[in-house]
Copies of this chain bind each other. A is one copy, B any other.
Amino acid sequence: MINIGVIGYGYWGPNIVRNFNRVEGAKAPLVCDINQDNLKRAKKDYPYIEITSDYNDVISSTKIDTVAVITPVSTHFELAKKALKNGKHIFIEKPFTATVAEAEQLIELAEKKKLMIMVDHTFLFTGAVRKMKEIIDKELLGSIYYYDSMRINLGLFQPDVNVIWDLATHDFSIMDYLIDEKPVALTANGKSHVSGMEDVAYVVIYFSNNMIAHFNVNWLSPVKVRTTFIGGTKKMIVWNDIDADEKIKIYDKGIEVKNREGLYQLLVSYRAGDMWVPRIEQVEALQLEAQSFVSCIMNNKAPINDGHAGLRVVKLLEACDDSLRNKGAMVNL
């Protein structure tokens, strides 16, 4: 039985408790929050649960073997480090840490102590992302031209991170999972209008091959858009996460480049074909993620969203900050 102590019962924490409680072989008997209202809510949701406002009670509890860190990113490193030192596995909210150095230290510590880190890149466990992974792994797209994501809405302004750290983190983790090719350089541009942190930003990432990636994130949009376009030589995917029934569309459409003789205009032509909407499994991603975490601990197997995956994302985020500070200058990775 895996016993999980959850630090942070604000917006996301209740989902963590609920989902780990549903996993065969796991439970979440202990919740910590500095806000008394949150603790009261936890007690109302689960009358038998133990609550505390001191995170040390969680980290040092002998009844607990795993700590879920569901707090603002600025606190991740200290909490995780202490928990690892006390021999606890770590399930940690995204983004993993506030800096690359912190992420590297936590990974090292976990490896030394033979403990597990899972970074909560929930999207990797959605039916849509798993279906895209399957399609890409089967090489149905051919070689990939571009990865283009838009994630905009009226966002919750956060005191300690900008819109890239808040929203693009999702997309960086998804792209990292789907695309084998490695990023080599990026540029980030953005603007702050409200709080001093960028609330609108645009990131372009170059890869060692011909692929280009682009991310449009925005906290000031009245409409919610969640789309990713992945275009390849053979087929193209459009993922619209807002669409309940047609999340993934696969287009057998593209261009055809003919033998380069004769007039240029004749060489590139359209190829029109069918479109296909694969059935997506209807599962709660966080439920699958919780199961995966418990199973990885049981079987001592690294999860797909381990500390290294978390680190790769933080590297991109840190590079974005560098580029933003330098007027969108290209930052090598």
Whether B218 contacts A148 by the Cβ 8 Å rule is: yes
| Chain B nearest CB, measured from A138 CB (Å) | 15
A280 to B257, CA, bound (A): 23
Query: Which residues of the partner chain B approach A152 to less than 8 Å between Cβ atoms?
Result: 229
| Chain B nearest CB, measured from A326 CB (Å) | 9
Further contacts, 5 of them, CB under 8 A, given A47-B47, A157-B268, A189-B212: A145-B193, A187-B328, A195-B267, A202-B214, A274-B279
Query: Which residues of the partner chain B approach A275 to less than 8 Å between Cβ atoms?
Result: 222, 245-246, 276-277, 279
Number of copies: 4
| Chain B nearest CB, measured from A33 CB (Å) | 15
| Chain B nearest CB, measured from A53 CB (Å) | 18
Scan residues 130-146 of chain A and give those whose CB is less than 8 A from a CB of chain B.
145-146
Query: Which residues of the partner chain B approach A190 to less than 8 Å between Cβ atoms?
Result: 212
| Interface of chain A: mostly helix, strand, loop or mixed | strand
Question: Which chain B residue lies CB-closest to A21?
Answer: B44
A221 to B270, CA, bound (A): 11
A224 CB within 8 Å of chain B: yes
Q: Which of B222, B231, B245 contacts A221 (CB 8 A)?
A: B231
Question: Which chain B residue lies CB-closest to A260?
Answer: B195
Query: Which residues of the partner chain B approach A204 to less than 8 Å between Cβ atoms?
Result: 189, 202, 328
Whether A255 contacts B191 by the Cβ 8 Å rule is: no
A148 to B201, CA, bound (A): 11
Which of these binds chain B: A56-64, A104-112, A236-244, A291-299? Answer: A236-244
Question: Which chain B residue lies CB-closest to A272?
Answer: B279
Query: Which residues of the partner chain B approach A279 to less than 8 Å between Cβ atoms?
Result: 272-275
Query: Which residues of the partner chain B approach A145 to less than 8 Å between Cβ atoms?
Result: 191, 193, 199-200, 220
A171 to B189, CA, bound (A): 19
| Chain B nearest CB, measured from A264 CB (Å) | 5
Scan residues 39-70 of chain A and give those whose CB is less than 8 A from a CB of chain B.
47-48
A308 CB within 8 Å of chain B: no
A179 CB within 8 Å of chain B: no
Q: Which of B221, B224, B270, B278 contacts A236 (CB 8 A)?
A: B221
A251 CB within 8 Å of chain B: yes
Query: Which residues of the partner chain B approach A212 to less than 8 Å between Cβ atoms?
Result: 189-191, 200
Whether A278 contacts B274 by the Cβ 8 Å rule is: yes
